[in-house]
Structure 1
Amino acid sequence: MTLASTSDAPSSPAIDRRSAAPMYDQLRRLIIDGIASQSLRPGDLLPGEHRLCELYGISRTVVRQALGQLEHEGIIERVKGKGTFVARPKTSEALMHTLIGLYDDVERRGGHVRSDVLRHETVPATPEVAEALAVVVDAPVILLERLRYVDDDPWSLSTTWMPEAVGAVTFGADLREGSLYRVLAEHGLRAVAGVRSAEATVASPEQAQLLAISPGSALLRLRSVSRDAAGVPLEFFIAYHRGDRSRFEFELRADAAGASLVPVGAGGSD
């Protein structure tokens, strides 16, 4: 099968109905082999469900099982109304176990981050923000909301709150192409410790529109508080990362000090 063309006859091995391997897994392997042998690139169009049924004489149920598995593995992506495509590889992010930001994490791997600044203003601290930043409720804090792009793909939606004295240095800075952490560092404000958590969630209609995904799509929600050497909070952020674009990596060691598994809803304000 020539995967990039839905009109060609199959040239790869057919489905073996006598094999002990499930037909959906055979089809899955044929598609993977076809992507590799034809050097298809992310974004290349693949045959749709109907064409695969015709090519291999198999049911739509079998095809959907194969495509569902491939999508789960991040090998293909299906876009409603457009078709099935070779997926873009997920970017491994080290944001869970380091204090670097998305900008620096992607930059060191040769990528490019830019941001649309959606909000950048002084607001009163909500109870959650006040607790995270160790300020009183309704104290003025600086809010920074950004839609982050990695190599021009919408990647994450983040909201950062900073104490007024910290956030004041960000006004006038270029936060579309630059790093927030670098701006803070230029003013002697450096995070050396913090607590960060991640959990799975789904996209609201508003988030989905900004991130160019469907409502209900998988998101990874990061919640983080960073502190300076004196233990004073510098920032509190909540970020929503696209589940189809991000993969967080953790460094493991025998000494589990500093790591914990917290049941959802147990402790804290989250």
Structure 2
Amino acid sequence: MTTEALHGDAIDRRSSSPMYDQLCRLLLARISQGKLKPGDLLPGEMRLCEHYGISRTVVRQALAQLEHEGVVERVKGKGTFVARPKTSESLVHTLMGLYEDVERRGGHVHSDVIRHEREDAAADVAEALEIPVGDSVIALERLRFVDGQPWSLSTTWMPEAVGAVTLGVDLADASLYRVLADNGIVAAEGVRSAEATVASHEQARLLDLTTGAALLRLRSVSRDASGRPIEFFIAHHRGDRSRFEFELASDVSHASLVHVHAE
């Protein structure tokens, strides 16, 4: 691309701030203003040198810093691109769903519903939902997209009494949790775990990855205020578009206990 999106920017040579730091801030400002958008190709190193009147070393320092912070990504043989924002994954330690997590950051989630039907509960599903094996459950499998990009593949199981209210509802652009809440079913507590795994051939095909690529596997059981399990899901998120985000407190009474175990 040209340096047109950077028109008006300049390095202040009288400033005590290092020139590479100034360049970082100028590029960040253009990104936050929408002049540079996710997926946009940045001008090459030589063009940046000419536009700002700085050395290649300064440019490389700035781009390395922005890459470290996840703001840009370098593709060998193609150049440096504005990185697509990652899912914050605050949903790992809250009862928030992907739809709500992305929506609060101004993004949009779309789902391709692969299946949404009744089935008999397998042993692992029955254990998670605390129902007998073979009981009727509602299974919802979705390929989730964030701002048009494939993001995660999830399967949710709900007891018949809970999931029945979702049958016939178009969940392509709707929040499952809001549909449940509209029917008086609200998650009050739950347990979620996260672990690293790799993509199977089918997962890679759906998520536009190579087989064996890194995935983040989330497993969650949610309960209502009475302690009844209302939902069990397993979701596989693209590892290159996810990060962990935790709220920390020095007061132990506000800390969260994370139980890590091997399977």
TM-score between the two structures when normalised by the length of structure 2 = 0.74
Distance 2:79 2:213 in 1: 17
Q: CA deviation digits over 1:89-147, x for unaligned, max 9?
A: 32323212321211122222222111100111112212111110001112221110011
2:115 pairs with 1:101 = no
Query: Per-residue deviation at 1:239?
Result: 0.9
2:259 corresponds in structure 1 to 262
1:91 corresponds in structure 2 to 87
Query: Per-residue deviation at 1:74?
Result: 2.4
2:227 to 231, 248, 261: 231
SS in 1 for 2:154: strand
1:33 and 1:182, CA in 2 relative to 1: closer, same or farther beyond 3 A?
closer
2:214 corresponds in structure 1 to 218
What RMSD, in angstroms, separates the aligned Cα atoms of the two structures?
3.6
2:159 corresponds in structure 1 to 163
1:119 corresponds in structure 2 to 115
2:39 pairs with 1:43 = yes
Higher helix share: 2
Map 1:60-75 onto structure 2 (within 5 A).
73-75=69-71
2:184 pairs with 1:188 = yes
Alignment identity in percent?
65
1:176 to 169, 172, 175: 172
Query: Per-residue deviation at 1:168?
Result: 0.9
2:150 corresponds in structure 1 to 154
Query: Per-residue deviation at 1:42?
Result: 2.5
Residues 113 and 151 in structure 1, CA contact (< 8 A), matched pair in contact too: yes
1:191 and 1:246, CA in 2 relative to 1: closer, same or farther beyond 3 A?
same
Match of 1:195, as an amino acid?
V
Distance 1:144 1:194 in 2: 19
Residues 248 and 255 in structure 2, CA contact (< 8 A), matched pair in contact too: no
Structure 2 gap segments, 5+ residues each:
4-19, 45-54
Residues 218 and 235 in structure 2, CA contact (< 8 A), matched pair in contact too: yes
Structure 1 gap segments, 5+ residues each:
6-27, 49-55, 58-62
Distance 2:187 2:22 in 1: 49
Distance 1:237 1:245 in 2: 20
Distance 1:209 1:30 in 2: 41
Distance 2:129 2:135 in 1: 10
Residues 90 and 245 in structure 1, CA contact (< 8 A), matched pair in contact too: yes
1:135 to 125, 131, 134: 131
Query: Per-residue deviation at 1:76?
Result: 3.6
1:32 and 1:257, CA in 2 relative to 1: closer, same or farther beyond 3 A?
closer
Distance 2:83 2:22 in 1: 16
- Aligned residue pairs total 239
